Structure 1
């Protein structure tokens, strides 16, 4: 299960990955569909690994990505403000 929240830009409902395929060690092509049946938007997306944020503890010599600069690593550490916290969502579901 993906923890990344994909949102339909048309109706703002959650998107689901219908299928995906790896085309390269650093690239995955996915086919997405809006979960809002009234919208039904479908799209092809590409997820690409571009920079190494921290080294692997089990490094594979075939994996060679540029190391992210300090500014990029700092930006990745800033929490998303538009995404609800998973633990808060679980607590709210239990209360209902």
Structure 2
């Protein structure tokens, strides 16, 4: 399982979602806030579902998204960012 993470473009700090609301079955509006008190930036964002990467095993007939083409599905399979700083004590033992 992964956690969605955004980094602020101003101070490069992490952010938190203060509140969000669904406006459509495929669209969610969120209000975000920087965790760096010195920065204090806040913003409104929209998260939209645009393509189906693989069909659901429990399909709802009201859910109709275009199926992603092969190129889009391949781009989703790119390796995870390997430039992350390891958490102390959890580095791989050699």
With the length of structure 2 as denominator, give the TM-score of the two structures: 0.86
Task: Please name the residue that 1:65 is paired with.
Answer: 65
Runs of 5+ unmatched residues, structure 1: none
> Which structure features the higher share of helix residues?
1
Structure 1 stretches of at least 4 aligned residues deviating more than 6 Å after TM superposition: none
Larger Rg: 2
- How many Å separate the matches in 1 of 2:43 and 2:31? 6
Listed as ranges, the matches of 1:32-71 within 5 Å are 32-71=32-71
How many pairs are equivalent?
90
With the length of structure 1 as denominator, give the TM-score of the two structures: 0.84
Listed as ranges, the matches of 1:2-21 within 5 Å are 3-21=3-21
Q: CA RMSD in A?
A: 2.1
- How many Å separate the matches in 2 of 1:83 and 1:12? 15
Runs of 5+ unmatched residues, structure 2: none
Task: Please name the residue that 1:26 is paired with.
Answer: 26
